[in-house]
A and B are shown apart, each in its own frame.
Chain A
Amino acid sequence: MNIEQLKQELATLKRDQKKITTLPPEERRDFGQKLNQRKQAIEAQIAELESQQRDENVAPLDVTAPMGVNEKQPSVMTADKGSRHPLMTELERIIHIYNLMGFSAVESRQLDDDFHMFGSLNFPEGHPARDGYDTFRTEEDFIPPAHTSNMQYRILQDGKKDLENGGQIATVSYGRVFRNEDLDATHEHTFYQCEGVFVSRDANVGQLIGVLQEFFERYYEQALNIKTQPSYFPFTEPSFEFSIEKPASIGGKKGDWLEMLGCGMIHPNVLKTAGIDPDKYKGFAWGGGIERLVMLKYEIDDIRHFESGKLRFLKEFK
Chain B
Amino acid sequence: MKISLNWLKEYVDIKVPTEDLIQLIGSRLVEVEETVDLSQKYKGIKIVEVKTVEKVAGSDHLSKCIINDGSNEHPVVCGAPNVRAGMLAVWLAPGVVLPESFEDEEPLVLDQRKIMGVESSGMLAGADELGFGTEHKTIAEIDPAMARAGDDFAEVFQLNDTIIDVENKSLTHRPDCFGIIGFAREVAGILGQKFVEPEIFGGAEELQTSRGYIEDGEIDSHSESLESSTVSSSQIIKQYKQLEVKIADPNICPHYSAAVLEHFSEKPSQYLSTTTVLLAKSGMRSVSPIVDITNYLMLLTGQPLHAFDYDKLVAVGGKESPEIIIRVAKKDEKITLLDGKTISCDVNDILVTSNDVPVALAGAMGAANTAIDETTKRIVIESATFNLYNLRRTQMKHGIFSEAITRFTKGQPPALATLVLQECVDFLTTQYEMSLAYDIIDCYPNQTENAPINFSVYELNKLLGTDFTYLDVDKTLQNVSFQVSTDADNGTTVVAPWWRTDIHIKEDIFEEIGRLNGYDNIPSALPSRTFAGIAADQLGDLKTQIRQILASNGANEVLTYSFVNRSLLEKSGQDLQNSYKIINSISPDLEYFRQSLTPSLLNKAYVNIKDGYSDFALFEINQASQKSDGLTSENIPVMKHKVCVVLHNNSKQTAYYSAQILAKELLIRLGVKVKFLPAKNASSITAPFELDMQRAAEIRDEITGVNLGVVGEYKRSIINNMKLPESVAGFEIDLESILQRASTNVKQLKESNYPSVDRDITFRVASDLPYVELEESIRQSLKDQKLKFTILPVSIYQSEEQATKNISFALTFASHEKTLSGDDISMIIDHIIIKAKDSLNAEVV
Which residues of chain A have a CB within 8 Å of any CB of chain B? 51-52, 54-85, 87-88, 92, 95, 99, 102-107, 109-113, 116, 125-129, 131-132, 136-140, 142, 144, 167-168, 170, 176, 178, 180-183, 189-190, 198, 200, 202-207, 209-211, 213-214, 227-232, 237-241, 265, 267-268, 282, 306-312, 314-315, 318
Q: By the criterion CB–CB under 8 Å, are A207 and B675 in contact?
A: no
Asked whether any CB of chain A lies closer than 8 Å to the CB of B639, the reply is: yes
Query: A138–B579 Cα gap in the complex (Å)?
Result: 10
Do residues A76 and B665 form an inter-chain contact, with CB atoms below 8 A?
yes
Given known contacts A68-B653, A69-B797, A314-B558, is B661 in contact with A206 (CB within 8 Å)?
no
User: Do the beta carbons of A77 and B696 come within 8 Å of each other?
Assistant: no
B825 near A: Cβ within 8 Å?
A: no
Mark interface residues in B485-517 (1 if CB within 8 Å of A CB, else 0): 000000000000000000001011011001100
**Inter-subunit contact A104/B535 (CB<8 Å):** yes
Which residues of chain A are within 8 angstroms of B466 by Cβ–Cβ distance?
A: 205-206
Chain B residues closer than 8 Å to A178, beta-carbon distance: 562-563
Expressed in whole angstroms, the minimum distance between the Cβ of A35 and any Cβ of chain B is 27
Residues of chain A contacted by B793 (CB below 8 angstroms): 65-67, 73
Bound-state Cα–Cα, A238 to B503, Å: 12
**Out of A176, A183, A207, A310, which one reaches B611, CB within 8 Å?**
A310
Instruction: Find out whether the CB atom of B665 lies under 8 angstroms from the CB atom of A211.
Output: no
Contacts A137-B583, A209-B524 known; 19 new A-B pairs at CB < 8 A: A60-B693, A61-B656, A68-B653, A69-B796, A76-B554, A84-B557, A88-B557, A99-B534, A107-B641, A111-B637, A111-B639, A137-B584, A139-B580, A144-B582, A170-B529, A182-B586, A190-B563, A307-B560, A311-B608
> B547 — which chain A residues lie within 8 A by C-beta?
84, 88
User: Which A residues lie within 8 Å of B116 (CB)?
Assistant: none
| Contact status of A62 and B507, CB under 8 A, knowing A83-B557, A109-B636, A205-B465 | no
Cβ-defined contact, A230 with B558, below 8 A: no
Scan residues 511-551 of chain B and give those whose CB is less than 8 A from a CB of chain A.
Answer: 511, 514-515, 519-520, 522-527, 529-530, 532, 534-537, 539-540, 544, 547-548, 550-551
Binds A, one of B165-173, B221-229, B256-264, B312-320: B165-173
A51, A80, A213, A310: which contacts B717 (Cβ < 8 A)? A51
Complex: how many Å from CA A74 to CA B659?
A: 9
A144 contact set on B, CB distance < 8 A: 562-563, 582, 593
Chain A residues within an 8 Å CB radius of B625:
110-111
> How far is the CB of A96 from the nearest CB of chain B, in Å?
9
Task: Point out which of A80, A83, A111, A168 has the most chain B C-beta atoms below 10 A from its C-beta.
Answer: A111
Query: A83-B557, A204-B465 known; A65 and B772 CB under 8 Å?
Result: yes
Q: Which residues of B contact A204 (CB under 8 A)?
A: 462-465
CB distance from B189 to the nearest CB of A (A): 12
A99: min CB distance to chain B, Å: 6
Q: Which of B169, B508, B721 has the most CB of A within 10 A?
A: B169
A270 and B654 alpha carbons, distance in the complex (Å)? 57
**In contact, A106 and B556 (Cβ under 8 angstroms):** no
Asked if B30 lies at the interface with its beta carbon under 8 angstroms from chain A, I say yes
Q: For the complex, count residues of B whose C-beta is within 8 A of A.
A: 135
Q: Which B residues are CB-close (under 8 A) to A210?
A: 524-527
| B107, CB-defined interface residue at 8 Å | no
B540 / chain A contacts, CB cutoff of 8 Å: 95, 105-107
Q: Check if A128 sits within 8 Å of B511, measured CB to CB.
A: no
Expressed in whole angstroms, the minimum distance between the Cβ of A53 and any Cβ of chain B is 9
Contacting pair A314 B556 (CB below 8 A): yes
Taken together as a complex, chains A and B put the C-alpha atoms of A75 and B658 apart, in Å, by 7
Give chain A residues whose Cβ lies under 8 Å from the Cβ of B581: 138-139
Q: CB within 8 A of A105: which of B508, B532, B537, B586?
A: B537
Is B550 a contact of A103 with CB atoms below 8 Å?
no
Name A211's contact: one of B527, B613, B694, B720 (CB within 8 Å). B527
Closest Cβ–Cβ distance, residue A182 to chain B (whole Å): 7
1/0 contact string of B600-634 vs chain A (CB within 8 Å): 11011001100101011110011101000000001
Interface pair A65/B653, CB less than 8 Å apart: no
- Contact (A79, B554) CB under 8 Å given A309-B604, A309-B607, A310-B607: yes
Q: Does B242 contact A (CB under 8 A)?
A: no
Closest CB in chain B relative to A134 CB, distance in Å? 9
Q: Which of A99, A106, A178 has the most CB of B within 10 A?
A: A178
With A65-B771, A168-B529, A310-B608 in contact, do A228 and B590 touch (Cβ < 8 Å)?
A: no
C-alpha gap A79/B656 in the complex (Å): 21
B170 touches A54 (CB 8 A): no
B607: chain A residues at CB < 8 Å are: 308-310
Q: Contacts A68-B653, A71-B653: A58 and B716 contacting too (C-beta < 8 A)?
A: yes
Which A residues are in CB contact (< 8 Å) with B693? 55-56, 58-60
Q: Is the CB of A207 within 8 A of B525?
A: yes
Tell me whether B661 and A75 are in contact (CB under 8 A): yes
Chain A residues, CB < 8 A from B604: 309-310
From B393, B465, B636, A207 is in contact (CB under 8 Å) with B465
Are B534 and A102 in contact, with the CB atoms below 8 A?
yes
Find the B residue at minimum CB distance from A57: B716
Determine if B389 is an interface residue (Cβ-Cβ < 8 Å).
yes
A-B contact pairs, 5 of them (CB 8 A): A63-B660, A63-B712, A85-B558, A110-B625, A232-B173
Chain A min CB distance to B685 (Å):
16
Residue of A nearest to B396 (CB): A131
Pick the residue among B507, B616, B634 that contacts A265 (CB under 8 A).
B507
Residues in A neighbouring B692, C-beta threshold 8 A: 55
